[in-house]
Structures are given as structure tokens and as C-alpha cells.
Structure 1
Amino acid sequence: MAIEERLRSLAQTNSNYSLLLAQWEFDKKLLQRALNAVSTTFPHYSLHDSSHSSTIITQIEKIILPDIDKLSATDC
């Protein structure tokens, strides 16, 4: 994901952003498990697992890609 790569790049150049990157990585793992449980809790919902979230992020990236380098660490 380009947004994640942007955050990783910012964290490498500024150690103050390392905490944001670490929080993102933790949340990503935690939310993947939670999102995968949605279908069992709400079987009448359309697919809302982690692949759905990845698809949303991919679509956002397609829109902002020309300007992705303008995103701050908190924007990412």
C-alpha cells in the first residue's frame, strides 16, 4: 500500500514518526482479526473482512496517488 509505504518512509527519516508507524502496524494486525469476525456476527452483511478494508485503501490511493508525497505522517 502506497500510504503505508509513505508512513514507513517518513518514520525512517524522522524518528518522531516511529510511534505512529508502530501503532499502525499493531492496529492493522488487531483489526484484521476483528474484521474477519464480522461475517460470523453479521452473516447478512456483504463482505467486510480485511480484504474489504484493503480495497477501500487501494481506491483512496488511486485518487490521491499524484499527491501522496504531500501526506503528513498523521494523514497516512
Structure 2
Amino acid sequence: MIKATTLVKRAAVSSAYFVVAYIAISVPVVAEGFSAHFLSLVSAAVGFSAVMALLAIVAGVLVHRRAASH
């Protein structure tokens, strides 16, 4: 991804990548904290696990479809 950009835009692309990665890591943790505040910790953990399992299944289906179409 970075080699495809010009030298001028390489810093912007790198920083955007790290901002997206930081948000992707922190948003689920903050959401888990809020849900644990309003629910019990066990309920929040089960809900978080269910959402992560659902996202993993969706990602697996999308990868399988993409591999089958090529």
C-alpha cells in the first residue's frame, strides 16, 4: 500500500493507516467498558464474544465467496 503512493503522500498514508488501526483497536474496548457498566461483566463479555464470532463468520463467508469467484 505504501509503495504505491508518491513520496509526498507517504507520510499521510502511513499516519492514516495508524489512525484507523488505533480506532479499530480502541472502539471495541470502549464499547465493552460501556456495556459492562450498564450490564454485568459476564453479560458484556458474552455479548462481545457473540459479536466477534458473528464478524468472523461474515468475514469467512466473504473470503470464501471471493475465492470461489476467482
TM-score, structure 1 normalization: 0.48
Q: Match for residue 23 of structure 1?
A: 23
Q: Match for residue 61 of structure 1?
A: 59
Select the structure of larger CA radius of gyration: 2
- The count of corresponding residues between Structure 1 and Structure 2 is 52
Q: Percent identity?
A: 6
| CA root-mean-square deviation | 3.0
Query: Which structure is higher in helix share?
Result: 2
Determine the C-alpha separation between the residues in 2 that align with 1:38 and 1:49. Answer: 13
Determine the C-alpha separation between the residues in 2 that align with 1:24 and 1:39. Answer: 23
Determine the C-alpha separation between the residues in 2 that align with 1:52 and 1:38. Answer: 18
Could you tell me which runs of 5 or more consecutive residues in structure 1 were left unpaired when the two chains were aligned: 1-9, 68-76
Q: Match for residue 32 of structure 1?
A: 32
SS in 2 for 1:25: helix
Name the structure, 1 or 2, with higher relative contact order (CA <8 Å, separation 6+).
Answer: 1
Could you tell me which runs of 5 or more consecutive residues in structure 2 were left unpaired when the two chains were aligned: 3-12
Q: Does the 8 A contact of 1:38 with 1:49 survive in 2?
A: no
